[in-house]
A and B are shown apart, each in its own frame.
Chain A
C-alpha cells in the first residue's frame, strides 16, 4: 500500500510536470492526491488522509473547468521536462530510501518528489493554471509532511493543506492590468 501510494503520488506530479492542458493537469492532481493520501494513511489515520484525497479531488475538479483546453501531455519541446520528472523521481527515491532512514520511507519519497517537482514546475512555467496546479500539490505535500514530525499527529495540517489546495484551483485567472 505504502509503495503503491508513493509511486502513484510521483506519477501524479510527473503528469503535472509533463502536461499543459486542463485534463492532463487535473489527472495529475487527482493521481498525486490519491497517492499522497494513501501513503499518509498509516501515520495520519483515515480521516486526515481522506481530507487530503478530498482536497485533491476538489482541486482536480477546479482544474477541469479552467485552464488551457485538452490534454496537451508532452507537447513539442518537453524533453527537458521528461528528464526533470524522471531524474527528480530517482533523486527523491535515493534520498528517501537510501540517504535517510527510519520508518515512513514511502512518505518521505512521495513528499520529497512532490515538493521538488512542484517547485520546479512552478518556476519553469508562465501559465497561471499550471502554477496554481503545482501550488495545490505543494500544499498537499506540506500537509502530508506533518506526518514526519513524530507523534502526536493531529488532523489540522492535513485539513489546512486540503483547504488551500482545493481553494487554489478555483482562483479566478485574470489578465494583468496594463499600465
Chain B
C-alpha cells in the first residue's frame, strides 16, 4: 500500500474517532460507527488493491454503498457523480494504455484529472448539496472523508500509467483545476448565503490547494498536499461537524474561540495549514516562480470566508468545546512540527 494513502486512511480513522467522541448528543453513534466504518473499510480497500482497475471497481462498490445510506437525495442523483468519475478515469486509463498518436495520451491525462475531480466532488452541479442532509450521506463524505486517500491513490496510479510527457500534462491539468477550485471555492464560501453551503465550498477551496500540491511535481508539493489533507481530515471536518447545530440555528458569535477557529481554517501560523501553504509556495517557486505569486494571491481569499465560518461555530460548550480545543491543539502541534507526519508517508 502507498505509505501516503495508508497514512490518510489512519487520519480518516482518527477523524471518525473524533466525531464519535465529540459528536453532539442527538447524533446516533451506532449509525456513525457503521457508516463511517464502512466508508473507512472501502477507502482502505481502494488504497490496498494492487491495480488501478481494481481500485476503480472498489470505488464503484463504495459509491453504491454510500448511495444506499438513507438520505434526502435520490439514489440516481447520488450515483451520478461516481459513475461519471469512474467512466472518465477508466477512459483515461484506456487511452494511456493503447498505442496511438500523442493527442490520445494527452486526452488520457485530461480524463484522469477530470475523473479525479468528479470522484472527489469538485464538479459543479454534479453533486447536489443539501446543508440539512447528514454528513455521512452528503457529498461532504466524499470531499472530506473518503476523498483524500482516494486522491492519493489515483494520482500515484495515474503517474504510473502515463509517460513522462503526459505526466507533465496531467500535473499541469491538476494545477489548473487546483487554481480554479481555490478561486471559486473560497469566493463562494465567502459570498454564498447559506452557512452550510459555505462550509462545503470551503472544503472545495482546500482541495484546490491539494490539487495544486499534487500538480507541483516536486517533493514539497506532495508534502503540502499531505498536510492539506491533514487539515481537511483533522481540522475542517471535525469543526464542520461541531458547527452543524449552529449552522442550522444560524447563530453567529464573535468570541476569541471563533477567531482562533477562523485562523486555523485560514491556514494562519502556527496551525498546520500554514506549514502546508509554505511548502506549497516553496515547491511552486522551484517549479515556476510566477505560479507561487498566483498561489499566494489565491491564499488571501481564505481570510473572509474563514472569519465567516469561524463565527458560524457559535460558542461550543461541554464535550464539543473539548473537541474543538483538541482539534486546534492537534493542528498547532502539526503546524509547529510536521516532520513525523511527513516522515510516516516517506516524504
Contacts and interface: CB of A to CB of B under 8 A. Distances in A.
Q: Do A and B bind each other?
A: yes
Interface of A: 99-102, 108, 111-112, 115-116, 118-119, 122-123, 125-128, 130-132, 134-135, 138-139, 141-143, 145-146, 148-150, 156-157, 160-161, 164, 167-168, 171-174, 176-179
Contact of B70 (A127, A143, A177): A177
B79 A164 contact: no
Contact of A142 (B56, B67, B71, B80): B56
11 contacts: A102-B98, A108-B98, A119-B84, A132-B64, A135-B79, A138-B87, A143-B57, A145-B93, A149-B53, A176-B73, A176-B74
B64 A168 contact: yes
A131 B76 contact: yes
A96 to B, nearest CB: 9
A128 B94 contact: no
B100 interface: yes
Contact of B76 (A101, A112, A128): A128
Contact of A125 (B53, B76, B97, B99): B76
B343 interface: no
B57 A112 contact: no
Contacts of B72: 176-179
Contact of B94 (A112, A122, A123, A156): A112
B38 interface: no
From B57, B58, B84, name the one whose CB has the most chain A CB atoms within 10 angstroms.
Answer: B57
Contact of B58 (A134, A145, A148, A160): A160
Contacts of A145: 53, 90, 93-94
A116 B95 CA distance: 13
Nearest to B58: A160
Interface in B55-89: 56-58, 60-61, 64, 67-68, 70-77, 79-80, 83-84, 86-88
Given A100-B104, A148-B98, A116 B91 contact: yes
Interface residues of B, number: 38
Contacts of B68: 171-172, 174
A171 B70 CA distance: 13
B287 interface: no
Contact of A99 (B60, B71, B73, B104): B104
Nearest to B93: A145
Nearest to A125: B76
A147 to B, nearest CB: 10
Interface in B83-121: 83-84, 86-88, 90-91, 93-95, 97-101, 104
Most buried by B among A99, A119, A179: A119
A123 to B, nearest CB: 6
Contacts of B101: 99
A123 B53 CA distance: 22
A142 B88 CA distance: 11
Interface of B: 51, 53-54, 56-58, 60-61, 64, 67-68, 70-77, 79-80, 83-84, 86-88, 90-91, 93-95, 97-101, 104, 132
Nearest to A146: B53
Contacts of A167: 61, 64
B80 A122 contact: yes
Contact of A164 (B61, B74, B75, B94): B61
A150 B56 CA distance: 18
Contact of B88 (A119, A134, A173): A119
Nearest to B89: A142
Query: Considering the complex of A and B, which 3 residue pairs feature the smallest CB-CB distances, nearest first?
Result: A119-B87, A122-B83, A100-B100
Contact of A115 (B57, B73, B74, B90): B90
A171 B75 contact: yes
B341 to A, nearest CB: 32
A116 B58 CA distance: 20
Nearest to B161: A149
A139 B57 contact: yes
A174 B70 contact: yes
Contacts of B53: 142-143, 145-146, 149, 157
B76 A142 contact: no
A132 to B, nearest CB: 7
A16 B319 CA distance: 52
A142 B72 CA distance: 29
A176 B76 CA distance: 11
A160 B70 CA distance: 25
Contacts of A142: 53, 56-57, 60, 86, 90
A81 B54 CA distance: 31
Contacts of B56: 142
A145 B161 CA distance: 14
A12 B58 CA distance: 24
Contact of B75 (A108, A111, A174): A174
A135 B64 contact: yes
A131 B83 CA distance: 9
